[in-house]
Amino acid sequence: MPVLKPHIFRLFAATFVVSAVSLASVSTLAAGLAWSCLCLAGLAAWLDDSRRPAGVAPAPQPVLRASRYWLLACLAATILMAIPTAYWAGPWGERHPQWRLLLSACGLLFLLKYRSPSHQTVQAITTAAAIALILAYILVVTSSSGNAPTNRIPWMGGLSLLGLAVVSLAYRQVSAPFWLRQFWLAASALAPVTALISGVRGTWPLVLIWPLLLFTLNSTAPSLWRKSRSWLAAGLIIALAGGLNSIPETDSPVTRMTDLRKTETVNEDHRFSGYSESSGIRLTLYAAGLRQILEQPILLGTGPEGTKQLIENALAKEGRLEAMPLIGHLHNDALHAWVEFGLFGLSGYLAIAVGLLAMIRQFALGSHEPVVVAALAGILMMHTLTGLSNMNFAHNYYPILLALSVALILLGAGTKSQRRSFA
């Protein structure tokens, strides 16, 4: 069997990676493949270090230090969550998000250390991520977010992070053709539109965070927005109008906000009048979880079975026995980790946010990377806010998109020169 020439193999590998990232929003398999490519690329770079091509140097030291902080944070999250999991004899299957973040962080560090990314590589992956955002919008408009490849809440949460990463690369990669950066900007602008029309209220803060990030980044490359704002604003109005007219009535922002208002109304019996709706269930679960923490603050939590019993008791108290088979967690990442695994679980969840904060501090202290600082701050805000109303880490899709978004930002920061690489 003939051996592929190196350049042919690299072309095949690059095409495979770009295709996987492009389809990540419409296929969980593609998202998993994109994550696998990140891990394997780092492993290959580490194993091939002795044959590093001449002229290839590691990424800048601030980027390497930031990637080490990210790796340490992911390692801490894995260990802290593993300790109470072992104490309660499982379930180990729910530790997949931590393992995925840890392995991808290893791959990212090796890739930055042994193979400094080229502008062309970063531009190709960013373009693929932009295509994924466009496909997500098309999916919601044509068949509603209920037909997302996984649970629509972590699906939209992960895509929100990817949208912030793409808009930051539109400002960071000034060596890319101007029209390509405009394409990235337009694709990323679809992320808040998709979040709004998807009916996933936990991601609606993106409607504020994306413009805030854009305003922050504009000072670094003002011509990008100045030359794009007219047609981009018109395009977004059309995209929003088309989305609002095609989504189911139950998912429209007006319906969801009206439902939220009714749900949060408390009647004279101190029960939520809209209890049958998702917000009412969440409020009841939050109250039960907080009572558990205040009444019995323990180091290792109540365990999976104890948490399940807590949820069942809260639902039974409200007379919602039929909801028991559908509710498996407290719909809040931090609260569920705290109740189930105590301070170990809470620390394990917060370790990811601490890692993001450490990277922000690294780039903010003298590395002259305002775009990277703003991008990571946006990721941190969305990660925190989406976790308040859902348990994103109960699904594998969200941590994969979190890993890819952080990797894309750091790979962009790892490019050396900002000279124009091609026309």
| 326-350 pLDDT per residue, tens | 577 788 999 999 999 999 999 999 9
Global pTM value: 0.91
Lookup result for tokens 């095409």: 15
> For residue 222, is it within any domain?
yes
For residue 421, what pLDDT band results from cuts at 50, 70 and 90? very low
Domain count of the fold of the chain: 1
> For residue 104, is it within any domain?
yes
Comparing 64-73, 309-318, 402-411, the range with the smallest average pLDDT is 309-318
**Percent with pLDDT over 90 in the chain:** 62
Sign of CA dihedral 329, 335, 341, 347: positive
What integer pLDDT is reported at residue 49 of this predicted model?
64
Q: What is the span of the domain harbouring residue 145?
A: 13-47+56-255+330-413
Under 8 Å between Cβ of 383 and 317: no
> For residue 61, is it within any domain?
yes
Under 8 Å between Cβ of 156 and 145: yes
Under 8 Å between Cβ of 311 and 356: no
- Which residue in 284, 266, 268, 251 sits closest to 148, CA to CA? 251
> For residue 290, is it within any domain?
no
Chain segment 162-177, per-residue pLDDT in tens:
999 999 999 999 999 9
For residue 44, what pLDDT band results from cuts at 50, 70 and 90? confident
What integer pLDDT is reported at residue 274 of this predicted model?
41
What integer pLDDT is reported at residue 250 of this predicted model?
65
What integer pLDDT is reported at residue 269 of this predicted model?
43
> For residue 310, is it within any domain?
no
List the Cα angle 10/48/110 in 5-degree steps: 90
Rounded to whole angstroms, the Cα distance separating 220 from 193 reads 24
Across residues 50-66, what is the average pLDDT?
Answer: 77
What integer pLDDT is reported at residue 55 of this predicted model?
59
Choose from 89-98, 232-241, 287-296, 355-364 the range with maximum mean pLDDT.
355-364
Greater confidence (156 vs 312) lies with 156
> For residue 205, is it within any domain?
yes
pLDDT at 255 over 70: no
What integer pLDDT is reported at residue 51 of this predicted model?
55
> For residue 361, is it within any domain?
yes
Chain segment 275-304, per-residue pLDDT in tens:
445 677 788 888 889 999 988 868 899 999
> For residue 268, is it within any domain?
no
Rounded alpha-carbon distances, angstroms, from residue 350 to 345, 379, 383, 398: 9, 14, 11, 16
What integer pLDDT is reported at residue 283 of this predicted model?
83
